[in-house]
Structure 1
Amino acid sequence: MEQTKKGFTLVELLIVIGILGVLASAVVVVLNPAELLKQARDSQRLQDLSSINSALGLYLVSTSSPAVGTGVTTVTQASGACDEAMTASTTAVRTTGGVGWVYVDFDELTGGSPLSVLPIDPTNSGNYAYCYNGSSTTDTWELTTVLESTKYATTEDLDGGDGGTDAAVYEIGNDPGLDLITD
């Protein structure tokens, strides 16, 4: 009686490993993890600026004499983030009491600040930073950031279709024309 050997030959194993390698490469190319990370950071940017914008709106309607600040501020010291940018003190940059990078005292609101801290950009370097400008004369403000993913910056064109003055920057606020921060 002849004994049969069970198992795979070396050639069969190499073929299966090769096929798995090709499939893994195809998945990496299709999913593009670098672009997915950029989209996640952009999503965080949009959410952060929306939260700050909502808090500023609440501050404006809840305060008898609102002071939305003057001057352009940004959270990073990188050049190019915002023209004419000033940086809040690094120890107080995230505080909501009027000395953070948004010069508005959210702590004046009844019930306290709607934000526990002022958010900062997920990358917070180079051109990726949050910028703020407020005018106490007109009680208007503008928040800006640069989007880095193809999905948000090109496909959905959130930066070019936001009603602002700069097609390469996402702008949000209550200033008509969103032109408080100029390039």
Structure 2
Amino acid sequence: MDVTIKKNQGLNKGFTLIEILVVIGIIAILAAVVLIAINPARQFAQARNSQRTSNLQAILNAIGQNMADNKGIFYCGGSPMSLPASSTVIKMGSFADIRNCIVPTYMSEIPVDPKDGVVWTGSNYNTGYEVLQSASTSRILIKAPSAELDQNISIER
């Protein structure tokens, strides 16, 4: 019986270490390029700015509905309330403390800034948004001073 062992039998299966390292290197370079192109921090900032715009619309709509229901006068607790003539943060204890005027009649809860706001805790809140009513035109301006990416987010009606 003649038993011969064939040389190199089974030695050509799989990848070499160098080939695997080259592929991993290429994948790492592509991943870095994609992360730089996508820029997740900027994407998150844009998403927060979009949320701010939506929140400002909701608050301004609630103020507008309150005024529409009361013949153009903003009411709170059954009596007229003046909105501030200078930009004031909508928060507990400020001259622009309007939460009880619009919640729950005009909105289920007052929205807060996605980064800097403090949600209603039962005794405190801070929307992070500012409101004012022009003394000359009676137009209401609401703005988000914490807007990111050097954007100026404000809505006036």
Is the TM-score greater than 0.5? yes
Q: Contact conserved, 2:88 with 2:96, CA < 8 A, in 1?
A: no
**RMSD of the TM alignment (CA)?**
3.0
Structure 2 counterpart of 1:173, one-letter code: E
Letter in structure 2 aligned against 1:117: E
Instruction: Please give the alpha-carbon distance, in whole angstroms, between the structure 2 residues aligned to 1:41 and 1:13.
Output: 41
Partner SS for 1:143: strand
Q: Is the 8 A contact 1:145 1:170 kept in 2?
A: yes
SS at match of 1:130: strand
Distance 2:100 2:31 in 1: 50
Q: Could you state the TM-score of these two structures normalised by the residue count of structure 1?
A: 0.61
Q: Which residue of 1 aligns with 2:109?
A: 117
Runs of 4+ aligned structure 1 residues displaced above 4 Å come to 135-139
Shift in alpha-carbon separation, 1:14–1:57, aligned structure 2, 3 A: same
Kindly tell me the number of residue pairs found equivalent between the two proteins: 132
Match of 1:171 in 2: 154
CA contact under 8 A between 1:121 and 1:129: conserved in structure 2? yes
After superposition, the C-alpha distances for 1:122-158 in whole angstroms (9 at most, x for unaligned) are: 1117xx93101236896532101142136xx3xxxxx
Could you tell me which residue of structure 1 aligns to residue 101 of structure 2? 105
Higher strand share: 2
Contact (CA 8 Å) 2:96, 2:131: kept in 1 or not? Answer: no
Change (3 A) 1:137 1:104: farther
Query: Where does residue 78 of structure 2 map in the other structure?
Result: none
Which residue in the other structure is 2:141 paired with? 142
Is the contact made by 1:134 and 1:141 (CA closer than 8 Å) also made in structure 2?
yes
Return 5+ residue gaps in structure 2 as ranges: 1-5, 75-80, 118-126
Cα distance, 1:143–1:104 mapped onto 2, change above 3 Å: farther
1:1-183 residue pairs with structure 2 within 5 A? Answer: 1-2=6-7, 3-5=9-11, 6-64=13-71, 66-67=73-74, 69-71=82-84, 72-75=87-90, 87-89=91-93, 101-102=97-98, 105-106=101-102, 113-124=105-116, 129-134=128-133, 139-146=138-145, 147-149=147-149, 153=151, 169-174=152-157
- From the superposition, tell whether residues 100 and 116 of structure 1 become closer, same or farther in structure 2 (CA, over 3 Å): farther
- Higher CA-based Rg: 2
Q: Cα deviations across residues 68-91 of structure 1 (Å, max 9, x unaligned)?
A: 53324314xxxxxxxxxxx523xx
Residue 103 to residue 115, structure 1, CA distance change in 2 (3 Å): closer
